[in-house]
Amino acid sequence: MPQPLKFQPKPLPVSIDDIGKRIANARKGNGLTQNDLAEQLGITRESVAAYESGRVRLSDEMIIRLSVALGISSDQLLGLTEIEQTHSHLSLRITRRMRELDRLPENKKKTILQVLDDLIRANS
């Protein structure tokens, strides 16, 4: 049986509860739904929701998997360093459509971008 500590450790500089918020923010910043992230990780959407809400603690392996899938370091995921804001604050809906647009052939991208430019000019 473990012995009680003689000295209490210093409080952590970050809240463990915030890990779920960082997962959700990084996921949304990457334009991913919970389902998208779950597919990348090979887990269920419900599991992603449980991690984001803090109902389930992250294992070492899941910290690594999430870091890789979200393109951030484990220190950033855990809140030990700041997550660099490389993503704009576009809505998830717009971000997903941008990713889909980027997968189209160049000629179709050019046509769609021209239509967008025309609409933006007409509404400015």
The two tokens of residue 64 are: 């690594």
Residue 96 has pLDDT above 50, yes or no: yes
Least confident residue range of 33-37, 55-59, 65-69, 85-89: 85-89
Q: What is the pLDDT of residues 49-67, one digit of tens each?
A: 999 999 999 999 999 999 9
The single residue listed with the structure tokens 């360093």 is 81
* pTM of full prediction above 0.95: no
Q: From its phi and psi, is residue 83 left (phi > 0), alpha (psi between -120 and 50) or beta?
A: beta
